[in-house]
Chains A and B, each alone.
Chain A
């Protein structure tokens, strides 16, 4: 049973064209995270929501924004994608903060 679902699995966009990535969860977890993972690198936390409270990492570019309209869904918006934004984007959830994170399969973003 899928618990953390990411759509689409593969996304191609053009340089500068806004794109939205989607994450949903069936776990009813309080916390949702977005990570960026470039090839052969560790995932880098972009931001997270604890319920409706949004927490941005200090070095997350302004080009990246997020929305969490309800417990189940969280979106990653990239306003003007650059070539350097091509990466795997991982969504994860946890019941509360200091707890195991459950990851989705990721969305691989290609920027042309």
Chain B
């Protein structure tokens, strides 16, 4: 069975600072996809960033970047220049076999003014 672990239930960061959210996963698959989703309070879930396991280069989307360590099965999210709008629940997710999608338990991030 696939599991996704987010060991930090809550985190906070000062506005304009950098924060890293951790995620580890367990799988025997060699080909899979990893995602970070953001769920702001009372708003819908949106994609932050995605990574294909076969790509060695870490994905980057503006202020968001990942540190993908395939051998260690680690997929952390770095948010640079944190903004108040980054306050949300962040879910790490794993996908294999096309349609089987597994979420971690989430990290609640608060950006402090």
Q: A residues touching B (Cβ–Cβ < 8 Å)?
A: 31, 33, 40-45, 48, 50, 55, 90, 92, 96-98, 100-106
- Judge whether B99 and A48 touch: CB under 8 Å: yes
Q: Mark B90-113, 1 if CB is under 8 A from A, else 0.
A: 010001111111111110000000
User: Dominant SS at the B interface?
Assistant: strand
Q: Are B98 and A97 in contact (CB under 8 A)?
A: yes
B46 an interface residue at 8 Å Cβ cutoff?
yes
Q: Once the chains are docked, how many angstroms separate the CA of A50 from the CA of B32?
A: 18
- In the complex, are the beta carbons of A100 and B47 less than 8 A apart? yes
> Considering the chains assembled together, what is the distance between the CA atoms of A16 and B88 in angstroms?
34
Given contacts A42-B91, A97-B98, A100-B47, 14 further A-B contacts (CB under 8 A): A33-B101, A41-B106, A42-B103, A43-B91, A44-B103, A55-B99, A90-B44, A96-B98, A97-B99, A98-B98, A101-B47, A103-B44, A103-B46, A106-B44
| Complexed CA–CA distance, A50 and B100 (Å) | 11
- B104 proximity list for chain A (CB < 8 A): 42
Please report the C-alpha to C-alpha distance between residue A105 and residue B44 in the assembled complex, in whole angstroms: 5
Q: Which residues of B contact A44 (CB under 8 A)?
A: 103
Q: Which residue of B lies closest to A100 (CB)?
A: B47
A81 to chain B, nearest CB (A): 23
**Could you tell me how many residues of chain B have their Cβ less than 8 Å away from some Cβ of chain A?**
23
Q: Is B75 an interface residue (CB 8 A)?
A: no
**Cβ contact within 8 Å between A42 and B105:** yes
User: Contact check: which of A40, A41, A50 meets B99 at CB < 8 Å?
Assistant: A50
Nearest CB on B from A95, distance (A): 11
A31 to B104, CA, bound (A): 21
Q: Report chain B residues within 8 Å CB of A101.
A: 35, 47, 101
Q: A98 to B45, Cβ gap below 8 A? A: no
Q: Nearest CB to that of A57 among chain B residues? A: B100
A-facing residues in B20-48 (Cβ within 8 Å): 32-33, 35, 37, 43-47
Question: Please, which residues of chain B bring their CB within 8 A of the CB of A105?
Answer: 43-44
